[in-house]
Chains A and B, each alone.
Chain A
Amino acid sequence: MNGEAGNLNNLTVEVPEDDAAGAISGRVAAPATVGGILRQAREEQGLSTEAVAEVLRFSVRQIEHIENDDYQALPGATLVRGFIRGYAKFLRLDPHALIAQLDAAVPQNSSDVRPPSSIAGPVGVSGLGGGSVRMIAVALVVLAVCVFGLYLFVEADEQVLSQAQVQLEQVNKTALPAGNSQTSAESQSVASVNAETPPLLAPEADATVVALSEQADVEPVAISAPVVGLLLEFDDLSWVEARDANQAVVLVGEFPKGTRKVVEGKAPFTLWIGRASAVRVSNQGRVIDLKAFTREDVARLTVD
């Protein structure tokens, strides 16, 4: 590489391109690349790469890489640009023009700043960082979903309540003649309605029960005899678990369509019905609407 300096002293003669860059093909054609320009300027001033290395303190190897435009062999764009700038200044060339030409040829990389790979996960920023803003957004969404769910639940409850009130009115109609005004209209749930009504109903006719079950939007059930205790009727295959007041399992298992099961034991019963849509529950002959206790077709309820 240094050997060609002798040839190039006589620059009017066409020099065959003999190096990797192939940049120099004669005086008239200006070298195309940054490295070529630097090499030409150095050789015109009669300097060797060793002499340049002596001043700039870069190694001869690095200077050769620059002159061959072999930027991959040099560590990083910052070094390449700084080196070219220093080299150009030393050769009294315009560094800006060379850097501009370099920009066109080699994209400038920005500093790659990243957390050390050995550290797992991002480092938390105390207080309200961008992460916490995201957290707040998620929290707001969750809150909104909860509020909506609560609203639906309350509305469903109100439906049950109004149904219960309708039932109560009917009960009152039948019960009042008996002179019993125990049924306060302010009953809170079906369960409590069930708890209070049986004593009233007991002396009365079955007709009321039938009327009530019609009111509850359930197929009328013909009840031939007064039913005591908790009755489960299966319209389709369903799984059921029932526990009595002592939490002892009194009924458990899968029951096919058409089964009628009477749960016996000490009230209140805890019921867990795997397929609420397929099961009708009645307590002391009063039908319990499972819809209020059902989530995803699984009903959980306590019956007094």
Chain B
Amino acid sequence: MFGFLRSYFSNDLAIDLGTANTLIYMRGKGVVLDEPSVVAIRIEGGPNAKKTIQAVGKEAKTMIGRNPKEISVIRPLKDGVIADFTVTEQMLKQFIKRVHESRLFSPSPRIIICVPSGSTQVERRAIRESALGAGASQVYLIEEPMAAAIGAGLPVSDATGSMVVDIGGGTTEVGVISLGGMVYANSVRVGGDKFDEAIISYISRNYGMQIGDNSAENIKKKIGSAFPGAEVREMEVSGINRAEGIPRKFTISSNEVLEALSEPLNQVVKAVKDALEKTPPELGADIAERGLVLTGGGALLADLDRLLTEETGLPVIVADDPLTCVARGSGIALEKMDKLGSIFANE
């Protein structure tokens, strides 16, 4: 009954609920939370086994691969959509509580939340319901390419074509935007996670070594690249030798990582080429002039812009602060949400 009163005392939020990271933008304050989308749950023993949340976010991420059997560390999102509904809801609730200072009212904000452009109705409904369950008074959905384009500062409202490629943890979103709407949108389920998996399987295949998710991510961040560079960098990695069953150290070079990443990268390139093929010629001309814009954590992979330039023959630019583009874009949409209708997605 007093939901509207509580929402009056709560700050509106924009949430980039990503596979890898969740970012929260608060109206008037900017990005206030950036945490990995990881939850650690302790399962108590006994007849009425109770589940309690042990940790959320950064703290929980350090527990990945290091947990005893009473604690399960869960990444509740997979491929950009919710894989575990209850845990997602709990995680969102924790995050929302964390960014709200007011203790007098339990937070009940209006929330803008991002959904992958290729997500199904069921997946969108799940995201909406989990936000409502986490205490939102109202939920608006915005498609990720639109949010990314706004966050990157592209002229989305103008009658010019802008192309944005948002490479997140679980999905790669390609969108062509003009006049405040999406002319073309596609999402492929390739992202940072697939890059990590590719590195793990490459090392397993070629070195007979087993490494963890966090190690793979470190390799990708330090020496990963998408295009052969002039200098070859190396990195020492430790893992378990599968033949001997003993932890060992070995060295891997950037060229090997490049080889490992070539398969998922080809899928990204294919998605971009598909989008260009389906773009109307007028907008295609704009994109050729202005280039396509890379956002998302994947844009930080070294020389990815170079790879896309070579493959498409178009200028490619990396947005400012690509990791927070989607959250900032949703935030800008949030600031003006009362005036904008067309940019929000339907279920």
Contacts and interface: CB of A to CB of B under 8 A. Distances in A.
Report if A and B associate in a common complex.
yes
Interface of A: 55-59, 75-79, 81-83, 85-86, 99, 108-116, 119, 122-125, 127-131, 133, 136
Contact of A114 (B291, B329, B339): B339
A113 B318 contact: no
Interface in B194-252: none
The list of the 10 closest CB pairs from A to B, nearest first, reads A82-B317, A123-B341, A78-B153, A57-B315, A111-B153, A58-B315, A111-B150, A122-B339, A130-B338, A128-B4
B154 A78 contact: yes
Contacts of A125: 337-338, 341
B150 to A, nearest CB: 5
A114 to B, nearest CB: 5
Interface stretch (B45-53, B155-163, B271-279): B155-163
B156 A111 contact: yes
A78 B314 contact: no
Contacts of A124: 341
A131 B314 CA distance: 44
A111 B160 CA distance: 14
Given A57-B315, A76-B154, A113 B4 contact: no
B340 interface: yes
Interface residues of B, number: 43
B4 A82 contact: no
Contacts of A85: 317-318
Given A75-B290, A78-B152, A113-B150, A83 B317 contact: yes
A87 B157 CA distance: 28
Contacts of A55: 309
Contacts of B317: 78-79, 81-83, 85-86
A44 to B, nearest CB: 17
19 contacts: A56-B315, A57-B291, A75-B155, A78-B152, A79-B291, A82-B293, A83-B317, A86-B315, A110-B153, A111-B150, A111-B156, A112-B157, A113-B180, A115-B341, A116-B179, A119-B342, A122-B339, A125-B337, A127-B138
A82 B318 contact: yes
A86 B307 CA distance: 12
Given A111-B155, A113-B157, 17 more contacts: A55-B309, A57-B316, A58-B315, A76-B290, A78-B154, A82-B293, A83-B317, A113-B180, A113-B333, A113-B343, A115-B339, A115-B341, A119-B342, A128-B4, A128-B7, A133-B4, A133-B8
A123 B180 CA distance: 14
Interface of B: 3-4, 7-8, 137-138, 149-157, 160, 179-180, 289-291, 293, 305, 309, 313-320, 329, 332-333, 336-343
A83 B309 CA distance: 12
B323 to A, nearest CB: 15
B180 A77 contact: no
Nearest to A53: B315
B218 to A, nearest CB: 22
A58 B318 CA distance: 14
B342 A115 contact: yes
B90 to A, nearest CB: 25
Nearest to A74: B290
A76 B160 CA distance: 12
B293 to A, nearest CB: 7
B338 A131 contact: yes
Contact of A58 (B155, B291, B305, B338): B291
B338 A82 contact: no
B62 to A, nearest CB: 29
A77 B320 CA distance: 10
B130 to A, nearest CB: 19
A115 B160 CA distance: 15
